Structure 1
Amino acid sequence: MQLYLPIAELTVNILLFLGVGGAVGFVSGLFGVGGGFLLTPLLIFTGVAPAVAVATVAPQIVASSASAAISYWRRRLIDEKMSLILLSGGMIGSAAGVYVFRALRTLGQLDLILGLAYVTFLGIVGGLMLRESVGAILRSRAGRPPAGRRPGQHNWVHGLPLKVRFRRSKIYVSILPVVALGFGIGFLGTVLGIGGGFLLVPALIYLLRVPTSVVIGTSLAYIVCTMALATVLHAIANGSVDIVLALLLMIGGVIGAQFGAQVGQTLRGEHLRALLAIIVLAVATRFLLGLFLTPADIYSFEVLGALP
């Protein structure tokens, strides 16, 4: 079953992209990460132009994340207060990211920046998460208590002003790092087409000490709102959202996310983090190889302006 994508200018197999959307939706519900860090590379690897892939992934992330977020909300596993404060910075970051994306596309540097950024961010975050999660698993098997802070031990975050109590997350911390996280991840998620959940989840766990069970639902709620804004801005400012492709990915993503959310609630936190770290590192490795391998088409042509 073949279908023509008007914006991507490709003829694709419908079942293939429904399957891709379903698989990424499953990952989204399982880890609470939106799935864009995996879906955007998959689209690029299948021949979709990077600009179209990044913009089109945003509505798919909204659909799959919303589906999974509803499941977590019903179980009261979302910190609504933290989600709102994250969004106060995330909305501004998403808007800024769309216009930086447009500037990079105009300069012709989008493909290179995307490749370098994926290798850097995915490699660093995946490596740190894998190290920590494997250590937690080994400690658990050895019967040792999990590594944690001793009473009275704080990091620099706890010295910041404007502290707020997040009762659902059981923490008392300044809103400044929460707003900053929202802005930074909203910006990067929009520019790279990744949703930002794979950055937000470890940041909330390791920086703010939010429980893993609450982090996933809170991350999903944040991603739904920021990616919805990114979708609208990408469509208006860049005109690169392929709605036909997005619908295929959405259908598969919504179904996959429900299964992922159910499975995610049966696994231990350290096991979830280890699986996510392995997937993140695998995607980073694929992008790293792409930076050094010679492409099949060495030259490309583009019309820069109308002929006189």
Structure 2
Amino acid sequence: MHIYLPIAGLSVNVLVIVGLGGVVGLLSGMFGVGGGFLTTPLLIFYGIPPTVAVASSATQITGASVSGVFAHMGRQGVDFRMGTVMVVGGVAGSIAGAGVFRLLQESGQIDTVIALVYVILLGGIGLLMAKEAATSIGALRSGKPVPSSGRRHHPLIASLPMRWRFYRSGLYISPLAPLALGFLTGVLTVTLGVGGGFIMVPAMIYMLGMSTRVVVGTSLFQILFVTAVTTMVHAVTTQAVDIVLAGLLLIGSVTGAQIGARMAAKTRPEWLRLFLALIVLAVALRMALGLGWRPDEIYSVDPL
């Protein structure tokens, strides 16, 4: 069964797009990532224009995050104070990122830049996460103490002024750190169509030192608001949001997020991190190969 996407300017298989949304929702519930780091590349592989893939992914991530946040709220897994600080930074980052996206779009280099940044970010983060997860799993199997990933925050963060207490996260740190982290993910959400969770979750654990019990839910809380703002920004500035495409993705992702949250509660965090790292590395590798492959059609017409 095929349906025509008015903004993307092509027909797609409904079941494939809904299934993709379900997988992304599953990852959202399990890892606290919006899933855009996977949605956008897969849509591009499927033939969706990169600009439309980026803008429409943000819309879909919003729906998946709503479902995931409610699932984690029931388990007391959301630090609303920390999440609110990140939301403020994320909204500011979304506005700033819109200007960058528009400049790249006008220069005609947006497709190449999106692919290059994906390869660099995903490759670096995936390797770091895989190394840490493999070390923890090895220690567990040998019966040795698991190396501390530390609830200690980075020394630079510890030196920042104006400390606040974030009781649910078990932290006493400056709000400037989560504010900056939120700003970065806001920029990434607009320019790459990602929720930013694949950067935010490791940063919340290893830099801020947050309790792993609230990392996933708090990440989704921030992603929810930032992607909602990003959708509005794209709708106004780039007119690249394909509501039909986003709707199909949402159908699958809302259900997938609920299932993922239940699976996360039953799986050791070390294995979750390793699984996420392998997915991130696989996507980075596919994007890198795509940069070197010669396309079937050397020239194409952008429907926008």
Q: After TM superposition, is the score higher than 0.5? A: yes
**Aligned partner letter, 1:217:** G
Counterpart Cα distance in 1 of 2:58 and 2:244: 13
1:235-246 alignment to 2 at 5 Å? 235-246=235-246
CA contact (8 A) 2:57 2:193 kept: yes
Task: Specify the alignment match of 1:184 in structure 2.
Answer: 184
- 3-state SS of paired residue (2:296): coil
What's the CA shift for 1:99?
2.1
The separation in 2 between residues aligned to 1:180 and 1:123, in whole angstroms, is 22
Q: TM-score, structure 2 length as denominator?
A: 0.96
Partner Cα distance (1:73, 1:40) in 2: 27
Q: Which residue of 1 aligns with 2:144?
A: 144
Change beyond 3 A, Cα 1:253–1:236: same
Q: Aligned equivalents of 2:280 and 2:5: distance in 1?
A: 28
SS of the residue corresponding to residue 3 of structure 2 reads: strand
Q: How far does the alpha carbon of each residue in 1:91-125 deviate from its partner, in whole angstroms, 9 at most, with x for none?
A: 00011112211111111000110011000000000
Distance 2:161 2:15 in 1: 52
Query: Counterpart of 1:290 in 2: which secondary structure?
Result: helix
Give the deviation of 1:139 after TM superposition: 1.0
Q: Distance in 2 between matches of 1:6 and 1:94?
A: 25
Deviates more, 1:80-89 or 1:145-154: 145-154
Q: Distance in 2 between matches of 1:173 and 1:129?
A: 24
* Aligned position for 2:81: 81
SS at match of 1:172: strand
User: Is contact 1:29–1:259 with CA below 8 Å preserved after alignment?
Assistant: yes
- Structure 2 match to 1:107: 107
Shift of 1:156: 2.4
RMSD between aligned alpha carbons?
Answer: 1.7
1:150 shift after superposition: 8.6
Residues 48-63 of structure 1 correspond to what in structure 2 (within 5 A)? 48-63=48-63
How much does 1:154 deviate?
6.5
Partner of 1:292: 292
* Structure 1 unaligned blocks of 5 or more: none
Deviations 1:130-162 (A, max 9, x none): 000110111111122222279999622212111
Q: Is the 8 A contact 1:213 1:269 kept in 2?
A: no
Question: Number of matched residues?
Answer: 304
1:257-272 alignment to 2 at 5 Å?
257-272=257-272
8 A contact 2:40–2:57 mirrored in 1: yes
- Is the 2:151–2:206 Cα contact (8 Å) retained in structure 1? no
CA displacement, residues 255-298 of structure 1 (integer Å, 9 cap, x when unaligned):
11111111011111111111110000000000100111111111
Q: Which amino acid aligns with 1:276?
A: L
Structure 1 SS opposite 2:12: strand
Does the residue aligned with 2:143 lie in a helix, a strand or coil? coil
Residue 59 of structure 1 contacts residue 228 of structure 1 at CA under 8 Å; is this kept in 2?
yes
Relative to structure 2, which stretch is displaced further, 34-43 or 206-215?
206-215
In structure 2, what residue type is equivalent to 1:242?
D
1:119–1:284 contact (8 Å) kept in structure 2: yes
Match of 2:283 in 1: 283
Shift of 1:226: 0.1
Match of 1:4 in 2: 4
Which sections of structure 2, spanning at least 5 residues, go unmatched? none
The equivalences for 1:126-165 within 5 A come to 126-148=126-148, 155-165=155-165
CA distance in 1, matches of 2:234, 2:154: 41
Q: Which amino acid aligns with 2:26?
A: F
Return the TM-score normalized by structure 1: 0.95
Q: Please list, as runs of the form range in 1=range in 2, the aligned pairs for 1:223-242 lying within 5 A after superposition.
A: 223-242=223-242
Residues of 2 paired with 1:19 and 1:148: CA distance? 38
Q: Relative to 1, partners in 2 of residues 1:296 and 1:151: Cα closer, same or farther, differing over 3 Å? A: closer
Q: Distance in 1 between matches of 2:154 and 2:237?
A: 44
Residues 168-179 of structure 1 mapped to structure 2, 5 A cutoff: 168-179=168-179
1:97 equivalent in structure 2: 97
- Distance in 2 (CA, whole Å) between partners of 1:96 and 1:151 is 31
Taking a change above 3 Å as real, the CA distance of residues 83 and 298 of structure 1, as seen in their structure-2 partners, is same
**Could you report, residue by residue, the CA deviation over 1:77-104 in whole angstroms, capped at 9, with x for unpaired residues?**
0000100111111100011112211111
Distance 2:303 2:194 in 1: 29
The amino acid that maps onto 1:169 is S
